[in-house]
Amino acid sequence: MSKTKKSTIGHYEILFIMPNKFTEDEAKTIIGNVEKVIADNGGQISYREYWGKKKLAYEIKHNAYGYYSLCEFDLEKNSLAAIDQNLRLSTDVLRHQIVIKKAKSEAELAKDKKINAKIEAKKAVEEKEAKDKSKKQAEASESPKKPAVKKERPTDMKDLDEKLEGILSAKDLI
């Protein structure tokens, strides 16, 4: 209930877009600036990802393309607003979005691993079953055809010969 019990540090993730008017190198310096803003406010960056130039789903301020960059950091909750404001005012960043990212504990990760292993095992079993089924079906569909074809032809010929002979002989008799 008390405020002191809760930890005031949260784990966040920021994704921001830089306009296309900059070159790739300039975009990278802007990323450096953004990271500096985060660091200045007491944030600790734990993960970076640069997506590069991407086409935007719709134009933002007449920009059809933009450079995307992703960053994860730990920060005190109070100083989040400062970063948000700073980025909103800057003209180098077209748009940004800060999202709370849940950091997984070791127990949760272990649980995930167990579940994933189970899922994989299940999938493997299902695949095997599907393969066996298709094999059986293939065998079932192949097996009756081949002997049937082989058997029918010779018997047919023999039967026909016999019938013909029979008919011919019968006609002669009459």
Partner 1 sequence: MNKQKTKECYFCVNNLEVDYKDTRTLRRFINFYMKILPGKRTGVCAWHQRKLATAIKRSRVMALISATHK
Residue numbers at the binding site for partner 1 (CB under 8 A): 15, 17, 56-58, 60, 66, 70, 95, 97, 99, 112, 115-116, 119
Q: What is the distance of C-alpha 113 from the center of its chain?
A: 18
25/58 with CB nearer partner 1: 58
Nearest distance, CB of residue 106 and partner 1, angstroms: 17
Q: Which amino acid is at 13?
A: E
Q: Shortest approach of partner 1 to residue 51 CB, angstroms?
A: 9
69: CB partners within 8 A, 6+ apart: 15, 16, 18, 27, 31, 34, 48, 49, 50, 51
- Residues 6+ positions from 140 with CB-CB distance below 8 Å: none
Which residue, 24 or 112, is less far from partner 1 as judged by CB?
Answer: 112
Q: Provide the residue type at 170 as one letter.
A: A
* Cβ closest to partner 1, residue 17 vs residue 38: 17
Question: What is the 8-class DSSP label of residue 3?
Answer: T
The residue among 70 and 82 lying less far from partner 1, judged by its C-beta, is 70
Q: In whole angstroms, how close is the CB of 111 to partner 1 at the nearest point?
A: 10
